[in-house]
Structure 1
């Protein structure tokens, strides 16, 4: 690793209302920092909590790959291309907006939902909108990295061959090699980890790494769930 930048959970922006809690990692909507607009191919990395029965009404996306990972609860999706789904922990969802699609996102009526939603740029603009989701919960029991989304055929398909999302649920003290990449965004969804060349990361913390060719991540005494975006290109 030639460079590492740690972003603590407390560093993130925050929007809180009676039904929504939004914690963006990059500049998003009215939260703007010209020095923090993207990393690698990532346009947005948002942690979102919705109160039971609440959510986002129909809104438009274009030319964006949207990947959603649910941390707790159930997220209900419906879009103008006719796709719908219920996404729960252990399941990854992908929406390729293509030339344009409207969608709604809501928590189930009986419980709140907490999820991560990541936006990245596709390799080419336009095309038909597309939706898919995949359950990788059983594969995560093994403790190593599981590819949740990629442009290379593993996980749900992305229209971006230079990016892949890997997820690991590590038991207490377990280690996993850092995914290689020109740009790697490592996010701790739960628990705590020690990362070679970085140090300790707690839940909600992230590390933005460049030129990753080795090193490991090790879970703390309570285990950890970790997401790693490995990218071979950058927007900047």
Structure 2
């Protein structure tokens, strides 16, 4: 098993009056040659959007875009006719395909939104754009890796155009859990949202990331109550 540790304080960042964003991988004005994604996983942006603000309409193409709000709510509008509010406890995926334009605005004028925005390179180009949003409330069982995304439309959670699986878990201190890959040729990127865990003798704190390759499973020991996002993606 090979691992690469990305401590939270090594991330890049962009700062505006209303938007603060931390970039795990190279993005926008932040470029690090050793941090250009992890296989098909290209972007993990940890965003903070002040109340009354957001991103006006902008375009994407040939990218699978996953949003996971952690605090507050975000109003989504796109040129496919979708208009919805995504809140903490939801997951949203947008397959940009041949091209899509959308806006993302804080639903509140005074409460900030905190969210993870994640980009996955698709395994098919120029697909018909699509949008999907699911509540995770009924999918999350404590002290388990709960699947929230997969390549299969009939699975739990959302789906996208890539051989990728995401799992979210909320764990109690003292728990030990093993994750087994759905595809042994994939890699896994673990992002600690909160709390502290140990994997491969590495202590991971909030917003730390750990990439794992060349194994079909890993074991995680929980030091303090933790929320963890596991992203299994092709790395070849």
Normalising by the residue count of structure 1, what TM-score does the alignment of the two structures yield?
0.92
Please tell me whether the aligned partners of residues 136 and 146 of structure 1 are also in contact (alpha carbons under 8 angstroms).
no
* Bigger Cα displacement from structure 2, 168-177 vs 119-128: 168-177
Matches within 5 A, 1:4-43: 4-43=3-42
Q: Does 1:157 align with 2:156?
A: no
Tell me how far 1:19 sits from its aligned partner.
0.5
CA deviations 1:67-116 (Å, max 9, x no partner) are 11111111111111111221122211000011000011111224110000
Please list, as runs of the form range in 1=range in 2, the aligned pairs for 1:40-55 lying within 5 A after superposition: 40-55=39-54
Q: Which runs of 5+ in 2 are unaligned?
A: none
CA RMSD of aligned residues (A): 1.4
SS in 2 for 1:138: helix
Counterpart Cα distance in 1 of 2:92 and 2:31: 27
Aligned to 1:184: 188
**Aligned equivalents of 2:79, 2:41: Cα separation in 1:** 25
Structure 2 partner of 1:216: 219
Partner of 1:14: helix, strand, or coil? strand
Q: How many residues align?
A: 230
Aligned with 2:207: secondary structure?
coil
Kindly provide the CA deviation profile for residues 33-84 of structure 1, in whole angstroms up to 9, marking residues without a partner as x: 2222111211111100100111111100000000111111111111111112
**Aligned-partner SS, 2:214:** strand
Distance 1:199 1:30 in 2: 29
Distance in structure 2 (CA, Å) of the matches to 1:61 and 1:119: 11
Task: Verify: 1:194 aligned to 2:198, yes or no.
Answer: yes
1:112-151 pair list within 5 angstroms: 112-151=112-151
- State whether structure 2 residue 202 is matched by structure 1 residue 204: no
Paired with 1:92 and 1:185, the residues of 2 have a C-alpha distance of 18
Task: Tell me if structure 1 keeps the 8 A contact 2:38–2:235.
Answer: no
Q: Is the contact made by 1:54 and 1:106 (CA closer than 8 Å) also made in structure 2?
A: yes
TM-score, normalised relative to structure 2: 0.92
Quick check: 1:56–1:106 contact (8 Å CA) kept in 2? yes
Q: Would you say 1:67 and 2:101 are equivalent positions?
A: no
